[in-house]
Amino acid sequence: MKRRVVITGMGAVTPLGNNVAEFWQGLLAGQSGVTKVTRIDVSDIPTQIAGEVKDFNPTLYMDKKEVRRMDRFTQFAVAGVKMALEDAALDMSKVAPERVGVVLGSGIGGMETLEEQMEVRRVKGANRVSPFFIPMMISNMAAGQIAIIFGATGPNLTVVTACASATNAIGEAFKIIAQGVADVMITGGTEAPITPMAFAGFCSMKAMSRRNEYPQQASRPFDQKRDGFIMGEGSGILVLESLESAKKRKASIYAEVLGYGATADAYHITSPAPGGVGAAKAMQAALNDAGIKPEKVDYINAHGTSTDLNDKYETMAIKDVFQEHAWKLAVSSTKSMTGHLLGAAGGIEAIATALAISHDVVPPTINYDYQDPECDLDYVPSQARRMTVHYALSNSLGFGGHNATILLGKFQE
């Protein structure tokens, strides 16, 4: 018998706001957080728009000394964790530290620090490179800093599976609790990829939209006129807890984590497998893990990147798994409003999925103006929808063929 696992706290730093309430309100209002890039010079880059985090002040969550020793992606994570622990009303001094762990996802880690310190070496020489360069840059440091700051001595892992990182992290954290290894897991994802090299690299792949004059209309998942994804940044953090632990604390519960599926396409370094076969297997695995029949699912928070093949193949994968029920599902991509947070995407999307279940309202897909004959499901266009959500999936699909799906459900005694 695996232990039941519930979500008791959430924290977020996003292009729509620097807390869960602002993020959720922005989603329900159909707002876009995509704007002209301000943090870096993109004058020589074809794409000049992104989902930037606005007005983020790290000193609200940590002291100035800590800020100077953290890359932006770690700052986002620590801020999200502080919010999530407060939301969960979890006093770390009152729990056994060895029973609290961290599994965090990040696709590329400290890119900003890497690029800055490379320039320091080029201009000033090797002896001027910061002694904090390595511990600020490495992808595991967000998870490491969280454990240090909050005193979590249980399992501590970092998942790097490109855009599937955060969903894989949540799934692995779920399994750790379900198997009895820990009682509480801090999980989700964080990313700060808006840097000159990361931007230039994705542009060289022709993966990003070039609708620079219309930033808020640029991310348009499943729309026939989609022309690429929009890069975003931020963090989405969840506190997962065994049901026994949550009930003992009389904690509020957003939703229950019921299933997890993870597969590999084993096909191509960037392109998803034809027909979305890997994504379909991940969704089916999550359903099997939970023992839930496909027709019980009400909503899917899709990966929905606004790229040609991803949106088409994810649609095909949903049809493959759900058959006739596919057209009865509500499917939406919140990336239409946030852009794509890469390794953190699954974190904020798991939060959106949990809130959809908790509040019985599904966020929309904005900018869905021109129907693609190959993307013909119910994508909840333009406006949020009031509907009962008993069970919901959240999908994340990453470069390298990584596919991850989590299944959440309404908490029932």
Cite the active site residues: 163, 303, 340
| Burial of 39 per CB tally in 10 Å (0-12, 13-18, 19+) | middle
Distance CA 80, CA 191 (A): 12
> With contact defined as beta carbons under 8 Å apart, do 204 and 120 qualify?
no
Q: Which of 144, 149, 154, 166 is nearest to 61 (CA)?
A: 149
CA distance 10 to 4: 18
Report the alpha-carbon distance of residue 175 to residue 172 in Å, rounded.
Answer: 5
Q: How far apart are CA 283 and CA 286, in angstroms?
A: 5
Query: How many angstroms separate the CA atoms of 335 and 344, rounded?
Result: 12
Quote the CA–CA distance of 396 and 349 in Å, as a whole number: 9
DSSP per-residue string spanning 66-120: HHHTS-HHHHHHHHHHHHHHHHTT--GGGS-GGGEEEEEE-SS--HHHHHHHHHH
Q: DSSP E strands: which ranges in 160-196?
A: 184-191
Contact 284, 244 (CB under 8 A): no
